[in-house]
């Protein structure tokens, strides 16, 4: 028994002794890279080393400075060329509108016969913005009217079961091309006739874009009352737009210098104005007749 208990005590000592840990099969990388000799750097150490190395390299600094200079010069060239063809300040002038101006201008486009004073107002030889002068042209109404016309064309074609993305794109591109052709024709006519005018490209775009208001009214009337209503609205809006174009170009946009020119120049100016006005009903009909059946 004594021998048995001694064996048990001796055996218990051997059993409680901790066995040496066996080396792991893989290094534990859950907390980062190994810090043992020959291992990888800690996370972020290589990035910090690279950044410090680049910052300390004079050639790298020169390359970065040169690249920044090239980018800055390119940006300045782009802005210069943009301002050369499109003046941002002039463009802002044509969008300086408010709700009251838009409402009154739409009424003037539909009922221009009661309007008396068509002269543009100036302050220190600078024309007042549209929100302060009803006679000043704007590009807000033509832009919104063009978008509305395209959406209305899609609606009309959808009601008639003729809608497709291709037809809608064709309507939009055709309307835009006709307006650009009209503006280019007016610019060419003014150049060939050597008429001194205050008209700019933005002015011509504005006056040419006002036709979309009459086109919208004609299409809506045609959808509600059929082809008879369409032709009645077409006649009214076309005559109103012709009157508006003639009065605006003659007294508001051409200025006093051109109005007091020689008689042949005034006749050329009158022919250009009448030609631009007479062209409006043709474009309105061409762009809207296929939307009403």
- Return the pLDDT at 265: 67
279 contacts 182 by C-beta, under 8 angstroms? yes
The pLDDT assigned to 125 comes to 81
CA-to-CA distance for 82 and 127, rounded, in angstroms?
24
pLDDT of residue 106 exceeding 50, the answer is yes
97 exposure class (CB count in 10 Å sphere: 0-12, 13-18, 19+): middle
- What are the b/e assignments for 162-192, b being 16+ CB within 10 Å? eeeeeebeebbeebeebbeebbebbeebbee
172-223 residue pLDDT tens: 999 999 999 999 998 888 787 776 667 788 999 999 999 999 999 999 999 9
- Statement: residue 64 has pLDDT above 80: no
pLDDT the model gives residue 109:
96
pLDDT > 70? residue 10: no
Binned at pLDDT 50, 70 and 90, residue 21 comes out as: low
At residue 60, the pLDDT reads 54
How many Å apart are CA 32 and CA 203, to the nearest integer?
68
Question: Does the pLDDT value for residue 14 go beyond 50?
Answer: no
Q: In this predicted structure, what is the pLDDT of residue 62? A: 63
**pTM score of the predicted model:** 0.69
Q: What's residue 134's pLDDT?
A: 93
The predicted model gives 152-171 an average pLDDT of: 89
The pLDDT mean for the chain works out to 77
Residue 74, pLDDT > 80, answer no
Asked which of 32-36, 76-80, 115-119 is least confident by mean pLDDT, the reply is 32-36
Q: Which of 204, 209, 222, 223 is nearest to 283 (CA)?
A: 209
Q: How far apart are the first and last CA of the chain?
A: 120
pLDDT at 238 (0 to 100): 95
What is the reported pLDDT for 90?
A: 79
Q: Residue 3: is its pLDDT beyond 70?
A: no
pLDDT attached to residue 152:
95
């Amino acid at each position: 028994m004594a021998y048995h208990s001694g064996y048990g005590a001796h055996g218990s000592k051997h059993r409680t002794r901790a066995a040496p840990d066996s080396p792991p099969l893989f290094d534990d990388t859950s907390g980062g890279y190994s810090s043992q000799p020959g291992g990888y750097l800690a996370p972020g150490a290589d990035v910090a080393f690279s950044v410090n190395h680049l910052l300390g390299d004079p050639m790298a600094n020169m390359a970065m400075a040169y690249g920044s200079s090239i980018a800055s010069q390119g940006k300045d060239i782009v802005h210069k060329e943009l301002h050369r063809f499109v003046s941002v300040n002039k463009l802002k002038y044509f969008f300086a509108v408010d709700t009251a101006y838009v409402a009154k201008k739409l009424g003037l486009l539909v009922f221009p016969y009661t309007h008396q004073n068509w002269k543009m107002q100036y302050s220190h030889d600078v024309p007042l913005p549209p929100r302060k002068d009803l006679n000043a042209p704007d590009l807000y109404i033509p832009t919104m009217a063009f978008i509305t016309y395209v959406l209305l064309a899609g609606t009309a074609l959808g009601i008639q079961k003729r809608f497709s993305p291709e037809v809608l794109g064709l309507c939009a591109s055709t309307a835009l091309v006709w307006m650009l052709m009209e503006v280019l024709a007016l610019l060419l006519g003014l150049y060939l006739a050597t008429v001194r005018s205050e008209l700019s490209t933005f002015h011509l775009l504005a006056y040419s874009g006002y036709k979309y208001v009459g086109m919208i009214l004609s299409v809506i009337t045609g959808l509600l009352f059929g082809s008879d209503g369409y032709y009645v609205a077409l006649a009214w809006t076309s005559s109103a737009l012709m009157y508006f174009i003639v009065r605006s170009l003659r007294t508001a946009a051409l200025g006093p210098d051109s109005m007091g020119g020689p008689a042949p120049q005034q006749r050329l100016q009158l022919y250009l104005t009448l030609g631009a006005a007479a062209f409006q009903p043709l474009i309105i009909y061409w762009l809207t007749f296929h939307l009403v059946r």
